[in-house]
Amino acid sequence: MSDIIPAELIEKKIYLIRRQKVMLDSDLADLYGVETRVLNQAVQRNIKRFPDDFMFQLNIDEYISLRSQIVTLKKGRGTHRKYMPYAFTEQGVAMLSSVLKSDTAVQVNIAILRAFVKLREILSTHKELAYKLVILERKITKHDEEIYTIFKAIRRLMDTPIIILILLVIPDFSSFPNVFRLGESTSR
């Protein structure tokens, strides 16, 4: 059954709500092949198995925000939800397998949990890359500061009068008799 449900389909149904990766009751019902109300009734009969960190009901703002992202509102009377949807965390999805006891539910749960694991691995990889990027930025910033210091020194040298530069570079003029010396006249 897990081969029938592509991992990409499951991953697209995982949302980030209240800083948690969750799946909605309607999406889970579609995957399990049952109606949303049937899934919710099974959960309500076993509500002690679903504490707040396993399942929570969306508030109106979350629902509106999510609905604007999904954009699959059905037309017609009686096709809209009467109640706010429930969101199931990874642990809540795992608990559903004990509530929905069909072979299909077990196979779908395995596929969903694999999708959660894959997302966790992807996020972990992104965190490692982000850390390496921060280190690289720090190195570049350090090099930028050093380059800035070099340019600042060059600009100072460019602003220094040429006579002072000559005196700094050639301190002994005795070896250069034709060089103009301060205080001497040019006429002979």
Query: How much is the pLDDT for 2?
Result: 43
Q: Name the strands in the sheet holding 20-24, side by side, starting at the edge strand that comes first in the sequence.
A: 14-17, 20-24, 86-88, 55-57
- Domain limits, the chain: 1-188
Contacts (Cβ under 8 Å, ≥6 apart) of 94: 109, 113
Instruction: For residues 20 and 99, give the distance between their C-alpha atoms in angstroms, rounded to a whole number.
Output: 22
Closest CA to 54 of 13, 99, 11: 99
List the chain pLDDT tens, one digit each, 188 residues: 445 677 778 888 888 889 888 989 999 998 888 889 989 999 999 999 999 999 999 998 888 888 776 655 555 555 567 789 999 998 898 888 778 777 777 778 788 888 888 877 877 777 777 777 777 777 777 777 777 788 787 777 767 666 665 666 665 656 555 555 555 555 54
Longest CA pairwise span in the chain (Å): 117
